[in-house]
Structure 1
Amino acid sequence: MANFRYFIGLIMMATAARFINGTMEDFFPDIKQNLTKITWAHAVNNQTYLDATLKNDINMIEADIVLGTLINGKTDPIPIMGHPPQNTSDLSLEGFLAQVQSFDSTSNSSKKGIKLDFKTIEVLEASKNIVRSVADKDDELPIWINADILAGPVNASTKPVNASRFLDVAKSFPKSILSLGWTTAYDSNSNGSYESSQIQEMIDVIRSHNITQEITFPVRAGLAARSLEQLTNLTESIEKSTLTIWSSDGDNVSVEDLRLLISKIGLNRTYIDVPSDLLEQLRLDDLPNSSPSRSVVGAAVWMPVLLVLAGIFQSLSLI
């Protein structure tokens, strides 16, 4: 039965496509499904720092984008690399992307992914065609599109990027990973958490915009450590989602509670981007019973079954 063989083939292809992460794990094969092994460089917003970062073994380059002008360049505002209130730079977004893409195309080992942190909706909208021109030409390069799109804990006063406009633009980058976060306010005496209402608001806005891309949720370590139930609900509600746990120097973090969260979510669904002293305290190589990935479990269960079925029908000369 040629038709049945074709049917089995389609199922196997669909299963493989559903259960294998073709972005980060393919681009960084050495992590072996352990996303906590991804390493980061932050605020790579000038040419000197970019040059240095391209020479080291960092995996992901995080950079901030604002509207401004190049030093000794045009006077009209363009997307440049910089963090507010900075509005001048020696590096444009276009130049930044071109250099990383060129590096990856010639490097045989230490390839780099990109996390672009857009500080306003206006700069994202102005950057749309620039980012899309790179993303459309390079299927492999991991490009994360990041913004804090909702107000979060604890009584955060920073204005979030407009969620609806952000997600509308983000649909222009179907192969990119969306990094969707909350604004936060936190100090050494804070004992807040991500509230269930804030989690539900994020779930609702993603579903209402029919987002199909992979999503990671950047969550602040001290708050996340007190939010196991809420963040478990979040990652279970949004398919293909991960957490990116970050922290500022001086944040009060319950290390043991954070270890429990990472163990619950799983090493294959948790990025870690924290200061080196906190990273050392987390002892990620010694987590209790880290949860297996549902995608990996699915592949392990269904692929052998399909292969056995194909073999049975082959032996019966039915295909």
Structure 2
Amino acid sequence: MYFRRVFVVFFVFVIFYIVWSLNERMSEQTLDYFLSRNKIQKRDGADIRWSHAVNSRDSLTEALTGPTHMLEADVIIRGGDPRVPIMAHPPATDSDITLREWLETVKEHEKGIKLDFKSLDSVSPSLILLQEVLTELNRPVWINADILPGPGGKATPLDAQSFLSAVSTLPAHTVLSLGWTTGWTAGTENPGYSWDMVHAMEEICRTLKHPVTFPVRAALMAQSAPQLTWLLQQSDRYSLTVWTSLTDDFRVQDLLMYRKQFDVSRIYFDLSESERTQLSVTE
């Protein structure tokens, strides 16, 4: 009886460790991809470089030949015929490159991708194309959408249940970038992410099989430290991706606090090159 109990305890421990290790590995798979190809030298989210709004043939060519690791682009359904997924950011309704053409070009290069969706109608047809064209299993693929209202947000978020239902069939290593609609106004006191906001997000994400990164606005992080700290502590599958708008004002010191508190593999910085450099120098 004693040995049976010992065996059961040991078995439970092994299962727990395997699950924990799998979650840990999943959360760092983006970094491992670039580390294994000598694109970065250490497992640090701040070392990942980003190309933004890669929504045209010219911008795609520039991004693919440049030093960035992750290509960020927007997907919508073309406003006219043929109504297929294209690369454009609203209010644009057309583009010189479709999602299929974009993916066919990207697959020849060692780049990760982040596809941003502003409407539900483009999600399902885009994910079908994604799984059809990009068959390399370990390439970093991030799928981004704002699914909850956030501080100062005026845009309508995508329906969380509908979006998560659409992405549920994606491979388990696909990163879901799930955020809040936000706003920021110069010269005023901008509220941060509230407890209600992070609790609602965690309730949605706790049962997901995918790694989840939460895109958080840099200018709102100083006033959100307890809330975002708590959110990251809820699962090893969670990470933060810090971003900013051109008109936002923030202090690098406010970001360093998070790097000191958590493993640097769990916080990405989707910032300009000068802001990333300042972050490293200040540290």
The Cα offsets for residues 43-80 of structure 1, whole Å up to 9 and x where unpaired, read as: 000111111111111100000001105xxxx8131110
Letter in 2 for 1:128: L
Distance 2:201 2:182 in 1: 14
Q: Trace 1:138-217 onto structure 2 (pairs within 5 A).
A: 138-154=136-152, 156-174=153-171, 175-190=173-188, 191-207=190-206, 210-217=207-214
> Which secondary structure does the structure 2 equivalent of 1:199 belong to?
helix
- The 3 A distance-change label for structure 1 pair 285 and 117 is same
> Which secondary structure does the structure 2 equivalent of 1:88 belong to?
coil
Q: Superposition RMSD on alpha carbons, in Å?
A: 2.2
The Cα offsets for residues 147-204 of structure 1, whole Å up to 9 and x where unpaired, read as: 01110002x1100111111111111112310000000011222431100100001011
Distance 1:257 1:170 in 2: 33
> Which secondary structure does the structure 1 equivalent of 2:130 belong to?
helix
Distance 1:276 1:225 in 2: 21
Distance 1:23 1:224 in 2: 25
- The 3 A distance-change label for structure 1 pair 125 and 18 is closer
- The runs of 5 or more residues in structure 2 that have no matched partner are 1-6
Residues 44 and 264, structure 2, Cα contact 8 Å, conserved in 1: yes
C-alpha displacement at 1:261, in angstroms? 2.1
Distance 2:41 2:132 in 1: 28
C-alpha displacement at 1:258, in angstroms? 2.2
The Cα offsets for residues 258-286 of structure 1, whole Å up to 9 and x where unpaired, read as: 2212322331110001234433443x355
The question of 1:52 aligning with 2:62 is answered: yes
The equivalent position to 1:265 in structure 2, one of 262, 270, 282, is: 262
Question: Which stretch has the larger CA shift, 119-128 or 85-94?
Answer: 119-128
Q: Percent same amino acid among aligned pairs?
A: 34
Distance 2:180 2:41 in 1: 27
> Which secondary structure does the structure 2 equivalent of 1:218 belong to?
strand
Distance 2:203 2:22 in 1: 26
Which structure: larger Rg? 1
The equivalent position to 1:92 in structure 2, one of 87, 92, 98, is: 98
The question of 1:114 aligning with 2:113 is answered: yes
Letter in 2 for 1:50: L
Aligned partner of 2:82 in structure 1 is 76
> Which secondary structure does the structure 2 equivalent of 1:20 belong to?
helix
- The 3 A distance-change label for structure 1 pair 121 and 31 is farther
- The 3 A distance-change label for structure 1 pair 45 and 259 is same
> Which secondary structure does the structure 1 equivalent of 2:78 belong to?
strand
- The 3 A distance-change label for structure 1 pair 12 and 158 is closer
Distance 1:241 1:142 in 2: 16
Q: Trace 1:29-44 onto structure 2 (pairs within 5 A).
A: 29=35, 30-44=40-54
- The 3 A distance-change label for structure 1 pair 248 and 131 is same
In the superposition, the TM-score normalised over structure 2's length comes to 0.86
In the superposition, the TM-score normalised over structure 1's length comes to 0.77
Distance 2:136 2:274 in 1: 36
Distance 1:193 1:247 in 2: 14
Letter in 1 for 2:186: S
